[in-house]
A and B are shown apart, each in its own frame.
Chain A
Amino acid sequence: MTIDLSQFVPTFLEESFEGLALMEASLLDLENGDSETINSIFRAAHSIKGGAGTFGFSDVSEFTHLVETLLDEMRDGRRDIKPIDIELLLESVDCIRLMIEAIKDDVSFEKTKIEQIARLLTETLAVGVTTAKSGTVDPKDNNDNLVVDEPINLQESSDEKVKWLIKFIPEHHLIQTGNDPLLLFNALADLGEVGVVGFSTDLPSLSDIDAEEVYLSWELSLVTTASQAEIIEVFEWVEDECLLTLTRVASAEAAIKNVAAQPYVETQASIVSAEPAETARTAVVTNEADIKLEQTSVASAIENVSVVSAKTSEPSSPTKAKADAGSIRVGVDKVDSLINLVGELVITQSMLSELGNDFDLSKIEKLSSGLEQLLQNTKELQESVMRIRMLPISFAFNRFPRLVHDLSNKTGKAIELITQGEQTELDKTVMEQIGDPLTHLVRNAIDHGIEPAEVRLANNKPEKGTVALNAYHQGGSIVIEINDDGGGINRQAVFNKAVEKGIVDVNSTLTDSQVFDLIFEPGFSTAEKVSDISGRGVGMDVVKKNIQALGGRIQVESKQGIGTTVKINLPLTLAILDGQLVKVGSETYIIPLITIVESLQVRTDFINRVSGDMVLYRLREDNVPVIPIYKLFNIEAVITEVENALLVVVEADGQKIGLLVDDLLAQQQVVIKSLNDNYQQVEGISGATILGDGSVAMILDVPGMITMALRSAQQYQPHNHQAQPQFEGVQP
């Protein structure tokens, strides 16, 4: 039996990303850090290299090996830590991340950049060693394929190829200790050419076979330049669990002949090239399921080797499904609190069921207090469960030190980044989607906000600009502030630009916040505002759209000469929504509270009937089209006259409509459930939820309804104004 290593790959990738983030953060901190900083960087690189080697991602392990060597020299004090080296290491971190992301997405990566950085690393290493004159590391060996966890003792190895004969008889329980002969062979194959012969003489009869035991033994021939110590090191983990004999045979030529003469033996190289990746993979699958252990012998073992190498060499194969289902690391304290709450819930439940055993009216008070307790428990349990999805916002903030560092170099502005409230927790989904808008805003702050040093000095400001990120909770939402002490937004320039674009009238008087809102208008180029570095990535209108898509709001405050603050308000989670329950006919619908402008009783004198059935309602200076939900959704309603109904004015994408409902019910938080799981998306409905009485209620999709309403309004054009067909509205 072989252990399917691929199941650990996602963990490796996840840990690698964490390691890379740590490396990056520590590298930025390296100039004023202590020896522990470089040690932690080294450890992170080391784990990535080791992991990559184990899983056969040789590109990653080779590259990381170079990084590690450089770090090692720095750690030992053989090399001074220079800013240029730090830059190089930062670039290397990017390269490793690129490679690991490619592995994760199962695509091939851009080799040129990585090769370029690898060459730079090698050059740096070469220079460093000669000046330091330590000579323990031979630079030309840095490109070696060796993936061995300990520093390699290169002195011992000679250039001459030597053949070794290795007898490897593992104890039956070898696999149970987490070792896999296959991996050992794989590691040996990294040292040189390997020939393998398997012996199945100890194989018991089929009925006696325990699938988790190893009954095979092997004889390997290895042609290599590596030393005996290096070969033994491969077997380091299994030394106590096997019988291992290592004999040096003869020179390479003889060895190769010898290998070729062996029956069943093929060199790894030939199989790797001969077996297409796909068949090899299938072979492994069948092999795992196969009870005939004889077949698990050498041939398939080598096939496994080829699978690993095929994976690295052709990572672009698109057929492989993405294994990434997304995972969350949850703190033990959160899990503990959940368990406690469930414990309390069980106690309450048993109390209640005991109460129910012989119930009479005298116990009604006890019952109501028990129910009260149950309510409390449930609420707490809900909160705790939601908290599992919550991550500290530092996950989103972590990328900024690097970004600021890079931009600071690029723009030549000295910038200090201050982050506050990193422990503020935010839903994972929101977190993933807030990253890009935040990046854009920080970049804007540095590009356009912070002035060049000479301007700053002239304005009596400290030479170093400050960009501050701050996150905190406010009510049911989270607020993220991006604050810079730069030049601020030129109100007049923005206004002029807006007039020029025809967005506002030249004579209109706008408040400051209205003016600053203009920068979120589509097509409103920020180039006018300050520098020439703009025009990168998403525009401010996209930022605003993204944040609105998350159910959030964005607003800008700015004082010229003092700085700009962008404030983002986000809901804590996407899984729960604050909704207004409304009744239409026999159905209950939920309108997201965030879209509601106001709810009002219809005043007859404000109603304007235009062509056909179109009704406009005058709301102060606006005319809002009135959309009866029953008509839009083709259902029965109790109240069909506009005059008697209630109007809920909602807004989306800057468009207001009035929804006609029979009655307003409570406001409450609802848990969003998807309709897609078992049915399909329904137009005008964004999801469903389950109400307190167990019935299902639909959550209205306000933007979708506006689209629907506009379309049906077109249907009511005069030329089309006959009796509607029976299935009116069904058709898209």
Chain B
Amino acid sequence: MEHEQEYLTFKLNGEEYGVDILSVQEIRVWSSVTELPNKPNYLKGVINLRGVIIPIIDLRLRFGKEPLPYNEQTVTIILRDHNSDKNMVVGIVVDAVSEVYKFALQSIRQAPEFGSQIDSCFLKGLATVEGKLIILLDNNALLNQDELYSFEQQVLEVACE
């Protein structure tokens, strides 16, 4: 049993991604956010989740994909970091949620180095199920403030120069 991990998968730009289900706190439909001033474009804003203020990140924009207008399929996955003391919470906006799959740890393969628009630091590995390839994201990296907010900053700096 220990050698298996459950993943919640979601659709993003035609691909299927997975996050460790243990770090998923809840799934919400998209609701309007309060914008923050001078924020990077992928940070949609913050919402009030039962008294806690949570930043919402559009994963498409974060991964450098084209934005998609939000529809009734669009959901926000609330991720919570249980490991660190800070208990950081963040919401990611994805196109749609898909399934929950169980993967044996040895069936998760190392992602090849590919010059994708995704910074490889978010990638944990790849897994196949029912003939589909699922990109597994590293929830530690996703919930790490430095990594989560760093990438776009660099892009902005380049754009400004």
Contact = CB atoms under 8 A, between A and B. Distances in A.
Contacts of B86: 677
Nearest to B149: A680
Contacts of A634: 37-38
Contacts of B39: 682, 730
Interface residues of B, number: 28
A496 to B, nearest CB: 47
A344 interface: no
Interface string A650-676: 000000000000000000000001110
A703 to B, nearest CB: 15
A610 B85 CA distance: 51
Interface in B35-62: 35-40, 45-48, 51-55
B156 A730 contact: yes
B129 interface: no
A697 B89 CA distance: 19
Interface residues of A, number: 30
B88 interface: yes
Given A678-B89, A695-B48, A727-B156, A673 B35 contact: no
A729 B52 contact: no
Contacts of B156: 727, 730-731
Nearest to B55: A679
A688 B46 contact: yes
Interface in B109-151: 145, 149
A696 interface: yes
B37 A632 contact: yes
A675 B46 contact: yes
A697 B35 CA distance: 9
B36 A678 contact: no
Q: Name B's interface SS.
A: mixed
B13 interface: no
A695 B51 CA distance: 10
B160 A731 contact: yes
Contacts of A12: none
Contact of B36 (A685, A690, A695): A685
B88 A730 contact: no
A18 interface: no
B160 A727 contact: yes
A680 B46 contact: no
A587 B55 contact: no
Contact of A727 (B36, B46, B159): B159
B34 interface: yes
Nearest to B152: A730
Contact of A729 (B35, B38, B47, B48): B38
A222 interface: no
Contacts of B36: 675, 679, 682, 685, 698
B98 to A, nearest CB: 26
A314 interface: no
Contacts of A680: 145, 149
A633 interface: yes
A673 B53 contact: yes
A682 B34 contact: no
Given A688-B46, A694-B48, A731-B156, A678 B88 contact: yes
B94 interface: no
Interface in A634-654: 634-635
Interface string B16-48: 000000000000000011111111100001111
A673 B53 CA distance: 8
Interface string A618-636: 0000000000000011110
B157 interface: yes
B90 interface: yes
A675 B159 contact: no
Given A673-B53, A726-B159, A587 B34 contact: yes
Closest 10 CB pairs between A and B? Answer: A633-B37, A696-B34, A679-B55, A690-B48, A696-B48, A678-B89, A688-B53, A634-B38, A696-B46, A730-B38
Given A673-B52, A697-B34, 5 more contacts: A674-B53, A675-B46, A677-B88, A678-B53, A684-B37
Interface of A: 586-587, 632-635, 673-675, 677-680, 682-685, 688, 690, 694-698, 725-727, 729-731
14 contacts: A632-B37, A674-B53, A677-B53, A677-B86, A677-B88, A678-B53, A678-B54, A679-B55, A688-B46, A688-B53, A696-B33, A725-B159, A725-B160, A727-B160
